[in-house]
Amino acid sequence: MTATAGDAPESAEPRDCIKYTFLHLRPEWRRLPAEERRRGRAAFVGVLERPPSGLLLRTYSLVGTKAGVEMLVWSIAPALEAIQELHARLMGTPLGGYLDVPHSYLGLARRSEYLGEHAHGGEGESGRRRPFDRPYLFVYPFVKRREWYGLPFEERRRIMGEHFRVGHRFPRVQIHTGYSFGIDDAEFILAFEGDSPAEFMELVEALRPSEASRYTQLETPIFTALKAAPARMVELAEGIP
């Protein structure tokens, strides 16, 4: 892959940076004295409750839904520096010394190229992303087969039109697409907010016969997360019912 300055102008469209950080709390933390854990938990939660200026975040629990991870921090910011500062602060807390990051996904928001001139009021119409604060979040990296990019653009738009129509049958499921070309391992990082796992499962099942699904190369691992305030997220990770 080669490029030179001036090959293409940088987009003037504002684009949010999107980061999904999955955290594993080591068992050693749970064996520490209760008062030491209380102080460490308070410092960690304090960072989450007072993020860097301009950064928006949500926290989720994966206790009981996925092996090897208990917490998810979803952060949105206009620049990567704010996201980096947040994570440095988190790792600098006493609890941060007992955390591993088994999975981490980075993307940028942008307007979907397949929408054309049509407007649907959805997340794909701008480079900004804002949570809908639904109780569930489903996250996974996504890679298309290379054959997809060899199709003419209008053919790809036609295929995606069917994909959108299926999605519109599930209006309570809200998608957040992050574009990761060249900045992370996957091509996209997808997240869906919803009211129930059953509703999201039905959406995914309905999309399986679509033409677009034939061009899927990777869509795992899949994470099912429950929205939780920062303090509650940590309590659940510690094993506090």
What pTM did the predictor assign? 0.90
**Domain chopping of the chain, boundaries:** 17-107+228-238, 109-225
Which residues of the chain carry a pLDDT beneath 70?
1-12, 116-126
C-alpha distance across the termini of the chain, in Å: 51
pLDDT at 123: 52
Phi-psi domain of 167 (left: phi exceeds 0; alpha: psi -120 through 50; beta: other) = alpha
Rounded Cα distance between 80 and 20, Å, is 13
**Contacts of residue 56, Cβ cutoff 8 Å, sequence gap at least 6:** 75, 76, 77, 130, 131
Q: Which CATH number fits domain 109-225: 3.30.70.1030, 3.40.50.1580, 1.20.1630.10, 3.30.70.240?
A: 3.30.70.1030
213 token code pair: 């699904």
Q: pLDDT tens, 172-209?
A: 999 999 999 999 999 999 999 999 999 999 999 999 99
Cite the DSSP H helix spans in 50-136.
80-91
pLDDT at 13: 74
Cα 184 from chain centre: 13
**Contacts of residue 98, Cβ cutoff 8 Å, sequence gap at least 6:** 25, 26, 28, 29
15 to each of 119, 142, 179, 191, how far by Cα in Å?
19, 20, 10, 17
pLDDT at 114: 83
Let me know if the fold of 17-107+228-238 is the same as that of 109-225: yes
Three-class DSSP category at 82: helix
CB 11 within 8 A of CB 110: yes
CB 95 within 8 A of CB 43: yes
How many CA atoms within 13 Å lie on the side-chain side of 76? Answer: 17
Question: Nearest-CA neighbor of 68 among 237, 239, 240?
Answer: 237
Q: Calculate ∠ Cα 214-129-153, nearest 5°.
A: 35
Neighbours of 122 (CB within 10 A): 16
Q: So what's the architecture of 17-107+228-238 in CATH?
A: 2-Layer Sandwich (3.30)
pLDDT at 8: 40
User: Given CA atoms 202, 130, 109, 24 in this order, what sign does their dihedral have?
Assistant: negative
